[in-house]
Structure 1
Amino acid sequence: MPLVSVVVATYSPGAGLDRLVASLDRQTLPADRFEVIFVDDGSPDDTVERLHRIASTRPNIRVEAIENSGWASRPRNVGLDLAEGEYVLFMDHDDELYPDALRAGAEFARRHGADVLNGKEARTQDAGWALDTYRADSPQDVGREDAHPLVPMNPHKLYRTAFLREHGIRFIEGRRVLWEDIFFNIEVAAKAATISTLASVPFYHWVQTGGSGSTTFRRSDPAWWDHLERVLEAIVDRLGRDSLQGRQLRRHQYVSRILGSFTPGFLRRPEEERRLIEDRARRLQERFTDVSDDDDLDRGAAVVAAALRSGDSALLSLAASAAGTDRFGAPVLDRAEWRGGRLAVSATVTTVERLAGGGTFRIDGERVLAASEDLIEALAAELELDPAELAGRYDVAEELEATAAAFAVRGRGSRIGWSVESEVGARSRPASADGSEVSLRLTVDGAVDVRAAPSDPFLDDQVWDVFLRVDRVGRLQQPRIRSSIGAQGALVDGRPVVAYTNRDGFLSIDLGGGVASLFDGSTPSAVTGTTPSDGRTEVHLSLPEVATAGAGEGSGWVLLSFRRAGLRSAAVGLMRRIARREHPPARFRARFRPTDGDSAGGGVIATLELPGPGRYRWTASPRGTHMPAWSIRVDRTTARLEVAAHG
């Protein structure tokens, strides 16, 4: 009996299918412990033939072809009927699993008797995707109050096969069934006794590609609203209107899909679309929410909710024009330095100024208001309330004090993201010249740990981009951090690590030297050379500006350009200069060790191995830094080396 059955519904997957199969081949769970069931939904191309070729060399793969049903639901149900594994996972045909996903996920689910395991997921175009769901490993998340345990509500999870069959849980079939995965997981939520969360091991990469079926549904389409109404009906019918799970899922739909329809972009729609969206949104608001549901909203969303309830289209347009405009701008890096294997960072972020005086929020006595004076007066008149009393509902002073922020890192290749230990070090409200308006400014301190500590997420060898995640009462932003620092290198437990400003002007960390090098930002202060008997020249460089933590030696790449001395080389060099072309760079592997061998300190010795006899001139040009270039002259006969900084 396989431990896991992976069910993949396919329909003309294109090149994405190769990515999916490669990720299955990389699984640490032995192939004889899981099966893969491809169910093709009548692809009009050669997909079925491709699948049979794939299965011919992999005994754990089965292929089933069915007539086109028009949606992923039918092939998933067919795959579920065929599944023999203890757990079943539904994959999209162009996504991928992280290497340890099946082993770690099934082991964790088994250990805790989970009906469902929600594994850590990444989404290609969303750096902050579901980070709040995956805060920590949890054997039991039923009853979790900060988020629903099945969010994100897609089927990229491990479900106990017997559990699904026992309760007859299946995907709703049809040619166009938007959010079929939400309907499926509502049924799961209604019956599951144990929902586990695995946050410490990367599990699933949702690869975003254009042309998926869900992209054919839009807010301007009545079918979009029909399906949203069915989702809300299912939540109330299966989970209860006022249960914890019911409130969580209703609120998510209310904020993101109903109130989220009214932004400045709403005003740019054709009048006919605006009428449709407003009418359908108001009907759902009246049917599935009440005024008490607005108490938990951030004040900006509460303004939109009140305007929608008023029934006044002009008022709603006014509220939509300001919705979401009190956002934060790009954070600016204040400081970054290596301390004992951790990159200590500090950054400042400020809300975008949007009012006439240069502020973000309006001052009204002791209140800080997120709504304009005109909007509050119009709402007060429509709702027959005193404007001063109504203004109190839109006082964001407490929200600003509760706004949280933390750093996060995301692998550029893997797309997996991790939160970083952080704290808000300073919080201020810079005022406009006349004192009538303020903005919110936060200074955040954190430390990115690049060591392979068992209790911390392990950052593997790739480039990690650094973000600042800001949370204002559930309204999340996660922009990248603007930086102007030069490259700052460290050797951590023998591992070369470089913090640098990337070509787009943001902060990144290169682990393993794939893009940046310890030579970037550190000019050699001393050089020695040896000439081994086999004809090589070894160059030993002291890089005093590189921080060190932990013992051990490591290696990394350095980009070098070289020119062999002599008449021919000089002529070639002259021609290149006339043509304004640089000498072609070469990648060389350098060996690094701490200068003093201590576990803490500064400075490393880098050893380069130069091939062949002759006289060389070597030039390393730092990439993405403001450090001067430097060069090394090597005289093979005397092993005399000279270092000169230039640039």
Structure 2
Amino acid sequence: MSIKVSVVIPVYNPGRYIEDCIASLLRQSLPDDEYEAIFVDDGSTDETPERLDRLAAEHPHMHVIHQEGSGWSGKPRNVGIEAAKGEFIQFVDNDDWLGDEALERMYNYGVQNNADVIVGKMAGKGRPVPLELFRKNRPHANVENAPLIDSLTPHKMFRKEFLDKHNLRYKEGRRRLEDHVFVTEAYLRAENVAVLSDYLCYYHVKREDASNAGFQRFDPVGYFKNLREALDVVEELTEPGPLRDRLFRRWLRNEMVERMRGQRLLKLPEDYRRELFDEIHKVVVERFGPGVAAGLQPTQQIVAGLISANRLAEIEEFAQWEAGIKPFGSLESLGWENGKLTIGFTAEYKSAGEPITFRADGEKDLLVPPLSRTGLDAIALLGADTSAPLAKSKVDLVVRERATAAEFFQPVELTREKVAVEGREGHFRQVLHATSVVDPLSAANGAPLDAGIWDVLIRISSCGWTKETRLGSVRTAEARRGRRAAVIGSPARLVLPYWTDPHGNLSLDVDQGTSRIGYEFADLTPADVTVTTGPGRLSAVLPFHVQGECDAPVKLTEITTGRSVAVTGTLTARTTGDAELRADLSSDELVDGHWRMDLTLPSNGAGKPVQLPLALDVSVSRGVVVKRLAAAAADLAAKGPGGRTPGSRPVKPTFLRRAARKLRRTLKK
């Protein structure tokens, strides 16, 4: 069978960080005879060469090429291209890894859409990745109809015939941005680029030792010399005009303007800051016409204008102001309806703890940066656009899986409000009012959220600032009251919104990724429970959102003997919005004693039993009496070491002390 995909991995001294990469390649859903991995060892001096040789000996579809060190990843990638036998080539860095179905899904998607390049959804573990590009699937993308230019890392799949046809290869030697040159040319020459966004294909990882090549401080002269080569590709393959300006804007924004903003600039040593600025100034003056900066956001235009005018001092002053700008969100409401979680919130930007303000000038809204007269005059002389396009302000709500950093945008309904600033005529702040409906069964670009912990955050975009913050630490009483767990879908799944420790932010625990579900029952009292005689049935009101009815088995354990009895249970939705637990108590095995209750809630896979803070005191004379578990333990302790219930062994004080300590910890949380 012909090979569908060749995975090329340049390798240099990754140490233990290569293990995740190897494991992900061995887990691929493609059959082993339909893909190959080619590790190109670029002169590693650690234990990696031996590790790769053992891997290749054990797995025939894993190959290793050893070569003398070339100093960078361009040459090993080119060597891998020449050795590849696959129809497509996927590039992976040795400290990153792939989703288990990445190769199969990307290959099928590429073939289906006759694509020369396939861009799979990325997650950044400590590293930035494109966000807007992956909002949706884009089967027929190009640089004009999609923000492809925002993704210039090499971690994509390329048709090998396409690479050979255009002699597309990486520039070699110790250099920067060789991937920008390669990927930009591929985008501009490709007949079609397909963007796959409904499956997380690539995990882009920042190493704990921060020794990834991209995190090392660079020589500004060499860096911007290499950057000019990417600009040369754009000039060669496009005509002067709006498209070229828009492509150039990517480098002006990301590689130049953003390096001159806020803390990113201020944390640099002054001598290096000046050296970096001088090289950026040269490129801006040499290569970019006025149409490039004109498409930037207002704050970015201001910085770009100051770069052109060679005004580093004013840039530093502007950076001091921007460094203090923070996103802020307030959780206004929270609640379940028909298996979906509705999250209402407000959002705005603040500086030094106070809301950012704007000034109305006729029909225009203007930025009001608190700069010195020199700085304001410099901006005015540049003619930079200081208008605030507040009608374009937006806020996104994103759920991010904590372990993998996979994130997905959720639908948001938004209104914008101008709030007058007291005592400052013509000045106002902008507050964004938003509502998002999160459906855990389709929140991952149409697929269900995987089991685990999903953090909820908001991302505010306005006036050239795009910043994110967690949501929930500031919340209303209504939002606190609306927080409860939910059992949704068929088969049933368990979703628990909860406040994180210690900051109190909102996260979603899907299918018991934590043990927090037990805390939901801490306030349960005997008054919430009724027991009927006759056939024997227990009914309890639980703080749950449930759709219809689902199974919820209950295990009863006699405290003194440890003997257990499994009984059937169901959860049923109530009109009040909570749930009723019904358990069958007709078993003949429920003899005299104190019985602890453990509830198993529906979840994806095997549910974990949750201890309820209640106990059943069963006796022939009184029937069944519901007590707090602590009270039941106290009753037994009062009988002393020799005390016993009929047919039971003596209660050990050490057991009771352990049970009491465990219960106190649970109730405290």
Q: TM-score, normalised by structure 1?
A: 0.82
Separation (CA, whole Å) in 2 of partners of 1:459 and 1:34: 29
What's the counterpart of residue 347 of structure 1? 345
Separation (CA, whole Å) in 2 of partners of 1:288 and 1:18: 43
Separation (CA, whole Å) in 1 of partners of 2:73 and 2:344: 46
Q: Flag structure 1 segments of 5+ consecutive residues without an equivalent.
A: 531-537, 570-587, 621-628
What's the counterpart of residue 152 of structure 2? 153
What's the counterpart of residue 542 of structure 2? 544
| Residue 489 (1) aligns with residue 490 (2) | no
Q: Deviations over 1:348-369 (max 9, x none)?
A: 12211359xx552342644543
Q: How does 1:421-460 map to 2 (within 5 A)?
A: 421-435=411-425, 437-452=427-442, 456-460=446-450
What's the counterpart of residue 370 of structure 1? 367
- Identity between Structure 1 and Structure 2 (%): 24
Higher mean Cα deviation, 162-171 or 518-527? 518-527
Paired residues of 1:565 and 1:617 also in contact (CA < 8 A): no
What's the counterpart of residue 360 of structure 1? 356
What's the counterpart of residue 575 of structure 1? none
Separation (CA, whole Å) in 2 of partners of 1:150 and 1:381: 32
Q: How does 1:121-140 map to 2 (within 5 A)?
A: 121-125=122-126, 129-140=129-140
What's the counterpart of residue 38 of structure 1? 39
Q: Deviations over 1:243-291 (max 9, x none)?
A: 62x3333111111221122224435644433332232121111112223
Q: How far 1:372 moved relative to its partner?
A: 3.9
Q: How far 1:165 moved relative to its partner?
A: 1.1
Instruction: Give the secondary structure class of the aligned counterpart of 2:126.
Output: coil
What's the counterpart of residue 573 of structure 1? none
| Residue 92 (1) aligns with residue 93 (2) | yes
Q: How far 1:549 moved relative to its partner?
A: 2.4
Separation (CA, whole Å) in 1 of partners of 2:106 and 2:21: 18
Separation (CA, whole Å) in 2 of partners of 1:590 and 1:89: 53
Q: How far 1:642 moved relative to its partner?
A: 1.7
Paired residues of 1:468 and 1:480 also in contact (CA < 8 A): yes
Q: Deviations over 1:310-360 (max 9, x none)?
A: 2344333333333465x44331211111111111001112211359xx552
Q: How does 1:93-108 map to 2 (within 5 A)?
A: 93-108=94-109
Instruction: Give the secondary structure class of the aligned counterpart of 1:477.
Output: strand
| Residue 394 (1) aligns with residue 386 (2) | yes
Q: 2:408 aligns with which of 411, 414, 418?
A: 418
| Residue 644 (1) aligns with residue 628 (2) | yes
CA 1:65–1:606 in 2, change beyond 3 Å: closer, same or farther? farther
Instruction: Give the secondary structure class of the aligned counterpart of 1:394.
Output: coil
How many residues were matched structurally? 594
CA 1:417–1:607 in 2, change beyond 3 Å: closer, same or farther? farther
Paired residues of 1:6 and 1:90 also in contact (CA < 8 A): yes
For 2:96, the aligned partner's letter is: D
Separation (CA, whole Å) in 2 of partners of 1:124 and 1:239: 34
Q: How far 1:61 moved relative to its partner?
A: 1.1
Separation (CA, whole Å) in 1 of partners of 2:81 and 2:33: 19
Q: Deviations over 1:119-145 (max 9, x none)?
A: 11111125x732210122122102544
Paired residues of 1:632 and 1:641 also in contact (CA < 8 A): no
Q: 2:251 aligns with which of 253, 257, 262?
A: 253
For 2:6, the aligned partner's letter is: S
CA 1:155–1:615 in 2, change beyond 3 Å: closer, same or farther? same
Separation (CA, whole Å) in 2 of partners of 1:452 and 1:359: 35
For 1:35, the aligned partner's letter is: E
What's the counterpart of residue 320 of structure 1? 319
Q: How does 1:201-216 map to 2 (within 5 A)?
A: 201-209=199-207, 210-216=210-216
Instruction: Give the secondary structure class of the aligned counterpart of 1:92.
Output: coil
Instruction: Give the secondary structure class of the aligned counterpart of 1:140.
Output: strand
Q: TM-score, normalised by structure 2?
A: 0.79
CA 1:612–1:173 in 2, change beyond 3 Å: closer, same or farther? farther
What's the counterpart of residue 594 of structure 1? 571
For 1:307, the aligned partner's letter is: L
What's the counterpart of residue 632 of structure 1? 614
What's the counterpart of residue 275 of structure 1? 274
Q: Deviations over 1:224-257 (max 9, x none)?
A: 333333333333334455362x333311111122
Separation (CA, whole Å) in 2 of partners of 1:18 and 1:607: 48
Q: How far 1:295 moved relative to its partner?
A: 2.2
CA 1:191–1:272 in 2, change beyond 3 Å: closer, same or farther? same
Q: How far 1:93 moved relative to its partner?
A: 0.8
CA 1:430–1:384 in 2, change beyond 3 Å: closer, same or farther? closer
Paired residues of 2:299 and 2:463 also in contact (CA < 8 A): no
Paired residues of 1:497 and 1:509 also in contact (CA < 8 A): yes
Instruction: Give the secondary structure class of the aligned counterpart of 2:291.
Output: helix
For 2:571, the aligned partner's letter is: P
For 2:137, the aligned partner's letter is: D
Q: 1:406 aligns with which of 390, 396, 400?
A: 396
CA 1:550–1:29 in 2, change beyond 3 Å: closer, same or farther? farther
Separation (CA, whole Å) in 1 of partners of 2:312 and 2:505: 42
Q: How does 1:545-624 map to 2 (within 5 A)?
A: 545-549=543-547, 552-553=550-551, 564-565=559-560, 593-595=570-572, 602-605=578-581, 615=594
Separation (CA, whole Å) in 1 of partners of 2:293 and 2:256: 12
